[in-house]
Structure 1
Amino acid sequence: MTRCDWAENANELMTHYHDYEWGVPTKDERETFELMTLEMMQAGLSWQTVLNKRENFREAFANFDIEKIAQFDEDDVARLLNNAGIIRNKLKIKDTIVNAKQLVSWHEAGKTMNAYLWSFVNGKPVVNRYQSMADVPAQTPLSQEVSKALKKAGFKFVGPTIVQSWLEALGILDDHLAKCMVNHMRK
């Protein structure tokens, strides 16, 4: 049996991510924020690059503790921009802090990102079984709708393509190819 094309012949990190994390439904708020941030950081780069730096990101961003990141200031931005272990994009770093602040305000109002995102699919993953990677869309009406709603709510760097990848990572969209062994592993 084979994996999705992007995980075939990949390194150990990519294979493990594909087999045990990507597309597995999560409702853990910290994990959701981590994946949101990593998907933002990946824009314009390869997922392999992000995975290779994931542990550095965890260390640099306080293990994606939303409350701590919301308190980051200009000194933290400077520190992060000097950290060669992460992707040093000033806009992405600043928008991560903006998103953490926005999420803290949601939490204070009794809202969670997970409940919000899962509400778009009535709490059930959307399972697609595309035949090839060429069939997998970069964005869908769902990711466009979620992106628009998140932007309206004050979140940054959440375009429909980033949101599409994020929803796949969270298991809200299960886009493992029809031939993928994970479909049989997770039954």
Structure 2
Amino acid sequence: MSTAPRRAGWAESDPLLTAYYDTEWGMPVFDETGLFERLSLEAFQSGLSWLTVLRKREAFRSAFRGFDPELVAAFNEDDVERLLADPGIIRNRRKIEATIGNARAVLRLREEPGPDLPELIWSFMPERSPAPGSDAEVPAVSPESQALARELKRRGFAFVGPTTVYALMTAVGVADAHHVWSHRRGCSGLWNPDGSRSAQPLPFAPR
């Protein structure tokens, strides 16, 4: 019986995607900077391929100062022009300006009563994850991603539609979209293979 790893189709199309799938996709991210980076990169991916983003990831990190929300929130029009001239990143003015605005929204969450960014995102962890048996069965949105997208928009975030937000949720372990036959199913430790939650505690309480 073969024990070779089994992956989603998209993860087999390029070595960079394979490495991302095998080591990162679906693993929990709980820190503010890590979640802000992933939220930003998912927004830049909108309308493009994730491979394009991965190839530019280190350039993005350099251009956006490691995605430190405090540093990015202080960007001004000179920084926007600098970023638009940077061939290492995706040069889209609306997405650049949204990233700066989102950094400011992250800081507002810190200052206001209620959840910060990690607590807010993880509060929308579903009761069950999908259990796809094929690429066609992997959902693009969920009720929780729709609700989280609405809440993020209400709090001043941009480029956070339900599809982008669901991509974020599955990327950082809030939901498990690995195929049921994948060697990475349940890799986060937060989900059982059948899509039910595991007993592993979270640093934040889901809703």
TM-score (norm 2): 0.84
What is the match of residue 56 of structure 1?
59
Matching of residues 118-157 of structure 1 within 5 Å: 118-121=122-125, 126-157=128-159
Per-residue deviation, 1:94: 0.1
Verify the 8 A CA contact 1:129 1:178 in the aligned structure 2: yes
141 and 3 in structure 1: CA distance in 2 versus 1, 3 angstrom threshold:
same
Correspondent of 2:162 among 160, 163, 167: 160
Q: Are residues 132 and 174 of structure 1, via their aligned partners in 2, closer, same or farther at CA, if it must alter by over 3 Å? A: same
Letter in 2 for 1:118: W
* Paired amino acid for 1:182: R
Listed as ranges, the gaps of 5+ residues in structure 2 are 190-207
- 1:7 CA displacement: 0.4
Q: Displacement, 1:184? A: 7.1
Letter aligned with residue 21 of structure 1: E
Note if 1:80 corresponds to 2:69.
no
- Alpha carbons 2:73, 2:104 under 8 Å: kept: yes
CA contact (8 A) 2:26 2:188 kept: no
Amino acid aligned to 2:137: D
State the distance in 1 between where 2:83 and 2:134 align: 38
RMSD of Structure 2 on Structure 1 (CA): 1.7
Q: CA deviation at 1:121?
A: 2.3
CA distance in 2, matches of 1:101, 1:19: 33
Offset of residue 128 of structure 1? 2.5
Question: Which of 100, 104, 112 pairs up with 1:101?
Answer: 104
Q: How far apart, in 2, do the equivalents of 1:169 and 1:184 lie?
A: 13
Paired positions, count = 184
Residue 57 of structure 2 aligns with an amino acid whose one-letter code is R
| Higher RCO structure, 1 or 2 (CA under 8 Å, sep 6+) | 1
Name the structure 1 match of 2:11. Answer: 7
User: Which whole-Å CA distance do the structure 1 matches of 2:186 and 2:167 have between them?
Assistant: 22
- 8 Å CA contact 1:2–1:8 kept in 2: the answer is no
Gaps of 5+ in 1: none
What TM-score, normalized to structure 1?
0.92
- Distance in 2 of aligned mates of 1:51 and 1:103: 23
Q: In structure 1, give the amino acid aligned to 2:149.
A: S
Is the CA contact (8 Å cut-off) linking 2:106 and 2:116 kept in structure 1?
A: yes
Match of 2:98, as an amino acid?
Answer: D
Tell me the percent identity.
Answer: 45
Contact 2:133/2:180 (<8 A) preserved = yes
Distance 2:63 2:57 in 1: 10
Q: Which has the higher helix share?
A: 1
Partner Cα separation in structure 1 for residue 110 and residue 8 of structure 2 = 36
Q: Go from structure 1 to structure 2 and tell me whether the alpha carbon gap of 1:169 and 1:82 turns closer, same or farther (over 3 Å shift).
A: same
**How far 1:129 sits from its partner (Å)?**
2.2
* 1:24 counterpart (27, 32, 56): 27
Letter of the 1:154 partner, please give it.
G
